[in-house]
Chain A
């Protein structure tokens, strides 16, 4: 079940996605967090952020919209309170980093680059719910390359994953820009900007007006985009992809692997079944046994190889 991901040997290819699993061991009451292949923290910014006023979420027919607004404790408290807990975790831990300027991203990464407890960083340049920074970095290829290069320089030996925004004309363009900037891996996809209207009050349900759509609704799009980036960018550049978007079962995870992902992340599903990610690890093991697959890497991108 082990996989190689950007030079790291991971026990299995299943991660929990940023913003859905807390800072460290919050899910420990429900599952063995050490059974995860990887763990991505909630977004950390240089200064603490309160986040948006409520309502911050609304359920839709096959997913949910969130507009949390990057609420987080900030770098200082993260280092003081969360890092010691992370140091005891066995899975590869990546800190998701967000900011409003390149300097802020770099400052967070510089402070954390020397921490042994961390495997690397995930660059959040695709958050749809903040006014400055976030997705505005992630849709312009020149900015994607610039911020990736600046952060990579601060990363030291740590792995840098760049998380891509899905709502762009051609996601391969931003993927190429991230690779050119020095990304070690790409994660895709983040949420889609969306809106739900309350027809009684004639107002958007979310105070932020819009929110990021996640959950089963976006899974087929995510599978397509992973496959597109795999074929057009990642395969040739030998850059691993972390696939996510609506994964709820091992079967969903296998689709992403076949489409070209080396690893997968479970997000919204953890809200419903807190131990969903470790159930998926078990389900993947069963699938491999049934299909007589000895190395998971065989599955990656197998969609585009002869059956």
Chain B
């Protein structure tokens, strides 16, 4: 039986900030604590699900600390919540802690950097459907591109804890080595799969890094690493393998193509601009094929996804 992909009840919750630190040149890491009902709600968080985070009331950092490229938009008011996926969720009796790995890209994420220990935050969630672990899976190939890291790292942990019988392997793509979170940077970048990337190594998941500029690991798109693995392991029964991917839409399209050529199951975590995240606004449309038909329909990223079977998605250009 396929494991449940969504926790049952979504709601509006309050979280307390435990820490908020810069985690690399591009990444910051926020750690939240949920108590009571919220702790229960997020104890059921499935990897790939997401939250809607209200940053509208947070302070703007002082202008001189804001990267020049973001100064134009920095003072713009924030109205809508922003969707994020957790990179790690830990449940301990009545307290649930969750890590949110984020990049600074605009006025909302800029404001998030001013959160301090003890501050509270308004979070709606858990939302959407996470990754599904189908019975019979023996090998999980985890493919990450850039900001697609958080839900895949969360999945890696859940696989190692809940499905020790499944062998997971991670391919982590990044523009350049400095765009990787510090925690993800090994002392030595191996050219092949190894227990080198610390966060995946601690889960027993071998991994390798690919960078566009060749500054570390494999030089070229991360999809080349995936193709190579599939070639080298061509004797493995394809029904035992599932590819899980999160990253830019172009990368997801390439991953989907590779998986489809080999007739391997592939689940992709998609992203769209969202207003509500709960199926009301209809803004996060994903074009999907109807089975046995040339027709397409729009599904909602927030409600029908964000994780989709790669076969049904009509990939476009990056939207969100």
Q: How far is the CA of A68 from the CA of B11 in the complex (A)?
A: 25
Q: Which of B76-84, B95-103, B144-152 contacts A (4 or more CB under 8 A)?
A: B76-84
Q: Are B275 and A71 in contact (CB under 8 A)?
A: no
Which one of A29, A30, A66 contacts B281 once the chains associate, using CB atoms below 8 Å?
Answer: A66
**Which positions 26-79 of chain A face chain B at CB distance < 8 Å?**
26-27, 29-30, 42, 50-51, 53-64, 66, 68, 71
Among A5-13, A89-97, A174-182, A268-276, the stretch that binds chain B is A268-276
Stretch in contact with the other chain, from B112-120, B131-139, B236-244, B282-290: B282-290
Q: How far in angstroms is the closest Cβ of chain B from A55? A: 5
Q: A29-B9, A55-B319, A216-B79 are in contact. Are A274 and B282 (CB under 8 A)?
A: no
Q: Are A59 and B283 in contact (CB under 8 A)?
A: no
Contact assessment for A59 and B12 in the assembled complex, using a CB-CB cutoff below 8 Å: no
Contact yes or no, B297 A66, CB < 8 A: no
Q: Of A26, A50, A62, which one neighbours B280 at CB under 8 angstroms?
A: A26
The answer to whether B54 and A272 touch across the interface, beta carbons within 8 angstroms, is: yes
A141 at the interface (CB under 8 A from B): no
- Does A22 sit at the interface, judged by CB under 8 A? yes
24 A-B pairs (CB sep. < 8 Å): A19-B282, A21-B280, A22-B279, A26-B279, A26-B280, A50-B297, A54-B316, A55-B319, A56-B273, A56-B285, A57-B275, A57-B281, A59-B79, A59-B80, A62-B77, A64-B80, A71-B282, A71-B285, A215-B79, A216-B79, A268-B275, A270-B276, A270-B280, A272-B276
Beyond A68-B283, A271-B275, 8 additional contacts (C-beta under 8 Å) are A19-B281, A26-B278, A53-B287, A55-B272, A57-B283, A61-B77, A272-B79, A272-B81
A100 touches B (CB below 8 Å): no
**Inter-subunit contact B298/A66 (CB<8 Å):** no
B240 to chain A, nearest CB (A): 35
| Chain A residues, CB < 8 A from B297 | 50
Residues in B with CB closer than 8 Å to A53 are: 285, 287, 316
B167 on the A face (CB < 8 A): no
Q: Does B56 contact A (CB under 8 A)?
A: yes
Q: Mark A260-283, 1 if CB is under 8 A from B, else 0.
A: 000000001011111100000000
Number of interface residues of A (CB under 8 A): 35
Whole-angstrom distance between the Cβ of B192 and the nearest chain A Cβ: 38
| Nearest-Cβ distance from residue B196 to partner chain A, whole angstroms | 36
CB pair A64–B11 under 8 Å, yes or no, is no
Contacts of A215 in B (CB 8 A): 79
Cβ of B175 under 8 Å from chain A = no
| Distance to closest chain B CB from A31 (angstroms) | 9
Q: Which residues of A contact B274 (CB under 8 A)?
A: 57
A271 engages B284 (CB within 8 Å): no
Which residue of the partner chain, among A29, A55, A274, contacts B276 with CB atoms under 8 Å? A274
Q: Which residue of A lies closest to B73 (CB)?
A: A61
Which residues from chain B contact A60 at a C-beta distance below 8 Å? 79
Check: A302 CB closer than 8 A to any chain B CB: no
Query: In the docked arrangement, what's the CA distance between A30 and B273, Å?
Result: 22
A249 touches B (CB below 8 Å):
no
Set of chain A residues within 8 Å of B79, measured between Cβ atoms: 59-60, 62-64, 215-216, 268, 272
Counting CB contacts under 8 A, is B251 at the interface?
Answer: no
A143 at interface, CB cutoff 8 A: no
Given contacts A20-B281, A55-B319, contact A64 B275 (CB under 8 A): yes
* A254, chain B: closest CB distance, angstroms: 21
Enumerate chain B interface residues (CB-CB to A < 8 A).
9-12, 54, 56, 76-81, 124, 272-276, 278-285, 287, 297-298, 316, 319
Give the residues in chain B near A71, CB-CB below 8 Å.
Answer: 282, 285, 298
Closest residue of A by beta carbon distance from B278: A274
Tell me the bound Cα distance from A21 to B275 in angstroms. 12
Interface centre among B11, B76, B276, B297, by most chain A C-beta atoms within 10 angstroms, is B276
B284 / chain A contacts, CB cutoff of 8 Å: 54, 56
Q: Which residues of B contact A63 (CB under 8 A)?
A: 79
Chain A residues whose C-beta falls within 8 Å of the C-beta of B283 in the assembled complex? 54-57, 66, 68
Q: Specify which of A50, A55, A62 is in contact with B273 (CB 8 Å cutoff).
A: A55
Contact A54 B9 (CB under 8 A): no
Question: Is A66 a contact of B9 with CB atoms below 8 Å?
Answer: no
Q: Report A-chain residues with C-beta under 8 Å of the C-beta of B11.
A: 29-30
Q: Which residues of B contact A68 (CB under 8 A)?
A: 281-283
Task: Check if B80 sits within 8 Å of A50, measured CB to CB.
Answer: no
Q: Distance (Å) between the CB of A45 and the closest chain B CB? A: 14
Give the CA-CA distance A274 to B276 in the complex, in Å. Answer: 8
Give the residue name and chain of the B residue nearest to A49 (CB): B298
User: Is the Cβ of A271 less than 8 Å from the Cβ of B285?
Assistant: no
Q: Give the docked Cα–Cα distance between A51 and B9 (Å).
A: 29
Chain B residues, CB < 8 A from A58: 273
The answer to whether B281 and A275 have CB atoms under 8 Å apart is no
| Contact of A54 with B80 at beta-carbon distance under 8 Å, contacts A20-B280, A26-B279, A27-B280 already known | no
- Chain A residues within 8 Å of B80, by CB: 59, 64, 271-272
Residue among A26, A62, A63, A272 facing the most chain B CB atoms (10 A cut-off) = A272
| Closest residue of B by beta carbon distance from A248 | B79
Residue-by-residue, is A125-162 near B (CB-CB < 8 Å gives 1, otherwise 0)? 00000000000000000000000000000000000000
Instruction: Please state if A51 and B282 are interface contacts (CB–CB under 8 Å).
Output: yes
Please report the C-alpha to C-alpha distance between residue A51 and residue B54 in the assembled complex, in whole angstroms: 27
Residue with the highest number of chain A CB atoms closer than 10 Å, among B54, B78, B273: B273
* Nearest A-chain residue to B296, judged by Cβ: A50
Residue of A nearest to B286 (CB): A54
A64 and B80 alpha carbons, distance in the complex (Å):
8
Bound CA span A271–B278, Å:
8
Please report the C-alpha to C-alpha distance between residue A268 and residue B283 in the assembled complex, in whole angstroms: 12
Least Cβ–Cβ distance between A118 and chain B, in angstroms: 20
Question: Is the beta-carbon distance between B282 and A61 smaller than 8 angstroms?
Answer: no
